[in-house]
Amino acid sequence: MSAPRWFAVARAGELARGEVRAIDPGGVPAVLYRDGDRYFAAQRRCPHAGFDLAEGFVSRGALVCPLHSWRFAVDTGIHELSPGVCLAMFAVRIEADVILVDPTPRRHCTPIDPFGDPFGDPSGDPSGDPSADPSADPSADPSADPSADPSADPLPEGDPP
């Protein structure tokens, strides 16, 4: 494992609770988000259909993608209903009020990502429209886990910040 490379991405307290913002530590597209007083960083592209997670929000311990309401645990990035789907996470630390992120990916599952490149720039398809990319067809979800169907989410989100 390579030595951490820390990049300053924001000041502590700059983000409101529940806020998500795009960051670019070392040129890696990522999101920084705040859950209570904890900060986390994860890949920016949603592994479902490639939506930009910088448009997401934090709710009840999850980073939520607003396109189909997939929910990822704030600390591990694991999908709430499909443990075989997870975000790449990045280490975060705070030093002298500055939030630092190491863009070395850390996984808490064996990832299933139809894009193959979780660090691709989601701005390439700002609509996040799955029909724009046949490989991103949600019905072709490689997890083959019916519980991963976002329409089956028993806790639909309704409280973006």
Q: Which residues bind ligand FES (CB under 6 A)?
A: 46, 48-49, 51, 65, 67-68, 70, 128, 150
Nearer to ligand FES, 57 or 70 (CB): 70
Minimum distance, C-beta of residue 27 to ligand FES, in the bound complex (Å): 23
Nearer to ligand FES, 26 or 142 (CB): 142
The residues, ordered by sequence, that sit 6+ positions from 158 with a Cβ below 8 Å of its Cβ are none
Nearer to ligand FES, 91 or 107 (CB): 107
Minimum distance, C-beta of residue 142 to ligand FES, in the bound complex (Å): 14
Instruction: Quote the Cα angle for 46-35-20, to 5°.
Output: 45
Minimum distance, C-beta of residue 17 to ligand FES, in the bound complex (Å): 22
Burial class (CB within 10 angstroms; exposed 0-12, middle 13-18, buried 19+) of 128 = buried
- Let me know: does 150 contact 71? Beta carbons within 8 Å: no
Block residue for tokens 């067809």: 137
Minimum distance, C-beta of residue 51 to ligand FES, in the bound complex (Å): 4
